[in-house]
């Protein structure tokens, strides 16, 4: 007995729409993940602009002075009088470190000098002022 099939053979197809959806989902994940990989070392302040600004690579300690005059060491609030002692504690295993001062443009010059004066008493601490290019 012979069965006759009148329907033509349909060629096999690969539906790529779900694969494209998965690729876009993975791409979205990587884009979102890279946005959070940026390294923020200080509190958000408006940095002054400088044409000659250079990037520094060394052990970094960040001192931030916000627009209200509050001083923070590595994102932790601190009194200016305690700054030198805490930086020494952070540098206990290091012979030198770069201390970056992130001062808002609205901060008084005298307060920045007071912070710098405290930091200059720390042996092996190199001071740097954070700026942004115009």
Please name the helix (run of DSSP H) or strand (run of DSSP E) that holds residue 116, with its range, or none: helix 109-120
Half-sphere exposure of 46 (CA within 13 A, CB side): 5
Average pLDDT of span 59-72: 87
96-111-103 Cα angle (round to 5): 65
Which phi and psi (to 5°) does residue 48 adopt? -70, 160
Residue 113's pLDDT is 92
Q: What would the pLDDT profile of 35-65 be if each residue is shown by its tens digit?
A: 777 655 566 777 777 777 766 556 678 899 9
Selecting from 3.90.550.10, 3.40.50.620, 3.30.1360.120, 3.30.420.270, what CATH number does the domain 60-129 have? Answer: 3.30.420.270
| pLDDT tens-digit series, residues 78-129 | 998 899 888 888 888 777 888 888 888 888 989 999 999 999 988 888 888 8
């Amino acid at each position: 007995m012979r069965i006759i099939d009148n329907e033509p053979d349909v060629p096999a197809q690969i539906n790529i729409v779900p694969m494209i959806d998965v690729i876009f989902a993975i791409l979205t994940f990587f884009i979102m993940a890279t946005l959070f990989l940026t390294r923020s070392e200080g509190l958000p302040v408006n940095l002054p602009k400088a044409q000659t600004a250079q990037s520094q690579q060394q052990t970094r300690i960040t001192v931030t002075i916000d627009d209200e005059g509050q001083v923070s060491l590595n994102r932790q609030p601190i009194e200016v009088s305690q700054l030198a002692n805490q930086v020494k504690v952070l540098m206990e295993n290091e012979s030198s470190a770069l201390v970056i001062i992130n001062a808002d443009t609205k901060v008084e010059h005298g307060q920045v000098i007071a912070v710098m004066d405290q930091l200059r008493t720390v042996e092996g601490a190199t001071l740097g002022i954070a700026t942004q290019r115009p």
